[in-house]
Amino acid sequence: MPQRDVVSWTVLIMGYRDCGKFGDALVVFEKMRDSGVAPNRVTMVNALSACANCGALDMGVLIHDEIRR
2-47 tens-digit pLDDT: 789 999 999 999 999 999 999 999 999 999 999 999 999 999 999 9
- Which residues have C-beta within 8 Å of that of residue 17, sequence separation ≥ 6? 25, 46, 49, 50, 53
The Cα–Cα gap between 16 and 66 comes to 22
State the pTM of this model: 0.90
- Residue 69 is predicted with a pLDDT of 85
What three-state secondary structure class fits 55?
coil
Q: Is residue 1 very low, low, confident or very high in pLDDT (cuts 50, 70, 90)? A: low
- Residue 2 is predicted with a pLDDT of 79
